[in-house]
Amino acid sequence: MKKRIFSLLMFPLLMWGRSQFWDENFHPLEQKFWQNRANSNLIEGILITAWLTNQESVSFYASQWQNTIADLARNQYASDAEKAEKLLLTLHERFLKRYRETANTVSGIFQTGEFNCASASLLYAISAHTLGIPVRLNLYTRHARPEVFVGGQWIEVEATSPLGYNFRQKPQVQQDFVRVTSFANEKVPLVVLTNTTQWYAMWYANEVYFQVQRRSFSNAFQLALRALELDKQIPLVQTNAIGAYQEYASFLVGRRLTNEALAVLEEGITQFPENRVLSNNYRVTIYQMTLDTLKAGQLAEGRRLLEQYLSVLLGDENMVGAAYQELLYRLIQTNAYQEAWETLQNVKSRFLERSWYTKVSAYGMTSLVKKLVSEWKLYPLYEDLVLKWYEDLRIPERESYLLEYYNNLGMAYKDAGFLQKTEEIWKKGLSYLPRASILQKNLASLYIMKASDTTSLKEKLSFYKQALAYDPENWEIDRAILITYRNLAEEYSNREDWKSVLQITEEALLAYPNDKQLQYYRDYAKRKLGK
């Protein structure tokens, strides 16, 4: 009783027609009861709604109860009050053996003797009703208690105690109740159930919970539909029906019956428009269906779903953004670059001011860059699209996306041995990102590599100078230039090309005026030239 019956949500009165998902044949015994419930034996009806689905068991337990009621009916009572009190004592003598908080069903009472406030109260209520005593069921926050109308007044009965008749006048029974159940002794009920139709509705709804716990989601859903048709205004019915719609839809999604799940949720939302749980579940289901469709490569269908349910998805803007990100990614992966760009512009025209738009644009740029880098041989094809996308970004870190494009593209060419193309790409990147230190250092490293690969000292010098221009703080490059100058001076000296010695040393001394070795070669060349 504790977990579900009094976890109540209140909703306005709803218009209700029979559900499109109603299954007339979901269980033969229940179907027979449903069709003849107005004339059915009350105890059998309660047992069947509690999902006791074996006819022999139903008949056996019903006969036990009927014999008890017959015994009570044969007795003579001074008043209905005496009859009501005797009924409670007899039920405890014959059926209600042990209190257990989770013993929620009347069928369980007959099978094990275990009961809680809900099952004991219902058994008492149907028994009193059969004996002709006016009775109703009171539902509290975490408790249930019947009341009987005797002596011109309503008398509360604590059905969990054999001494619970008129328990408001029995302090010891009240104390025992709190001790045994740990429930507060509330005085004002939340809901009062006054007739057998409401009792059936409550018990159908009560069984919904147990069917869900057994993961029998289809059964739970059908039971919830029956509870709704009997009395949709009972909070327990509404609460458990909402849960049944949600659980059954999730079950269908798990079986990849997404369209069927959406239909179930749509009906649930129609019946309970203020319930956020159903609305959120509906949104999540649409979102997941859209993503699954896109990931399966059905881009046209995924786009259609996204646009069709856009108003629903906008209830959670993170979902909209993620769905558009997935669409852009899938378009780019299939080389539909221009379509991806047009899609982004369409989204921009409608949602530029939404917080998620910048994430979509940035994600699309990342996807485009990674794809084009992986297809590096296509360069410079689609470079103009990358630049347009870059210009479209409106985030502080947008330069990092363009840097990733030029840097990684150049690396791909470098790894393949196309150093000239690498140089061209990195220089192109620097033309747009002149402060990009990564490109500068990479170009410096590229020229150092070229210098290492050549045997010509003049070419080495030229490459080292270009490297230093891109990485002016690198002392190792500066040192390599000085050494190359010295080596050139030595090489010209060995060839007795004193004019070249003088020319190269004077050039070098402009940068390294205090270098003794360069000074020596210069002075020696001058003497040889007679200067």
* 135 membership: H or E segment, kind and range: strand 135-139
Does residue 256 or residue 505 have the better pLDDT? 505
Structure confidence by residue, pLDDT tens digits, 395-412: 999 999 999 999 999 999
Residue of 370, 343, 367, 371 lying closest to 357 (CA atoms): 343
Pairwise pLDDT comparison (24 vs 230), residue with the higher score: 230
Structure tokens at 188: 């004002």
Band of residue 250 on the pLDDT scale cut at 50, 70, 90: very high
Task: Report the run of H or E that residue 156 belongs to, with start and end.
Answer: strand 153-156
| Residue 240 · residue 205 · CB < 8 Å | yes
| 474-487 pLDDT, tens digit each | 999 999 999 999 99
Mean pLDDT, residues 80-89: 97
Longest dimension (CA), the chain: 151
Rounded CA gap, 458 and 484, in Å? Answer: 8
pLDDT greater than 60 at residue 520: yes
Provide, rounded to the nearest whole percent, the portion of the chain with pLDDT above 70: 97
pLDDT digits (tens, 9 = 90+) for 461-477: 999 999 999 999 999 99
The string of pLDDT tens digits covering residues 121-174 is: 999 999 999 999 999 999 998 899 999 999 999 999 999 999 999 999 999 988
> What's the rounded Cα separation, in Å, for the pair 488 and 461?
9
| Whether residue 11 has pLDDT greater than 70 | no
Round to whole Å and give the CA distance between 531 and 72: 142
- pLDDT confidence bin for 2, thresholds 50/70/90: very low
pLDDT of residue 25: 79
Q: Which of 194, 201, 138, 192 is closest to 167 using CA atoms?
A: 138
Q: Which amino acid, one-letter code, is at 455?
A: T
With H, G, I as helix, E, B as strand and everything else as coil, classify residue 514.
coil
Q: Which helix (H) or strand (E) holds 4?
A: none
Separation CA 203–CA 220 (nearest Å): 12
Instruction: Compute the distance between CA of residue 181 and CA of residue 47 in angstroms, rounded to an integer.
Output: 25
- Its sign, for the CA torsion 17, 20, 24, 27, is negative
The number of helix segments (H) and strand segments (E) in the chain equals 25, 6
Residue 11 CA to residue 296 CA, distance in Å, equals 40
Taking each helix axis from N to C end, the angle separating 357-374 and 337-351, rounded to the nearest 10 degrees, works out to 170
Kindly indicate the confidence band of residue 185, based on its pLDDT and cuts at 50, 70 and 90: confident
Model confidence over 262-300: pLDDT tens digits?
A: 999 999 999 999 999 999 999 999 999 999 999 999 999
Other C-beta atoms lying within 10 Å of the C-beta of residue 257: 14
Nearest-angstrom CA–CA distance, 235 and 125? 19
Q: Please, what is the average pLDDT of the chain?
A: 92
pTM: 0.74
DSSP 157: B
According to the model, what pLDDT value does residue 17 have? Answer: 65
Question: How distant is the alpha carbon of residue 96 from its chain centre?
Answer: 45
Q: pLDDT at position 180, please?
A: 84
pLDDT of residue 65: 97
Contact 178, 162 (CB under 8 A): no
Residues whose CB falls within 8 Å of the CB of residue 123, separated by 6 or more in sequence, listed in order: 91, 95, 96, 106, 109, 115, 159
Residue 348: Cβ-neighbour burial (10 angstroms; 0-12, 13-18, 19+): middle
Dist CA 489 CA 517 (whole Å): 9
Q: Can you tell me the distance from the alpha carbon of 267 to that of 16, in angstroms, rounded to the nearest whole number?
A: 10
Return d(Cα 36, Cα 24) in angstroms, integer. Answer: 13
Count CB atoms within 10 A of the CB of residue 377. Answer: 10
Q: What 8-state DSSP symbol labels residue 169?
A: G
Find the helix packing angle between 457-470 and 475-494, rounded to 10°: 160
Cβ distance 172 to 178 under 8 Å? no
Please tell me the predicted confidence (pLDDT) of residue 51.
Answer: 82
As a whole number of Å, the CA-based R_g of the chain is 43
Please tell me the predicted confidence (pLDDT) of residue 4. Answer: 30
What burial class does residue 528 get, using C-beta atoms within 10 Å of its C-beta: 0-12 exposed, 13-18 middle, 19+ buried? Answer: middle
Query: What are the tens digits of pLDDT across the range 43-77?
Result: 999 998 888 889 999 999 999 999 999 999 999 99
The encoded tokens of residue 336 equal 């539909």
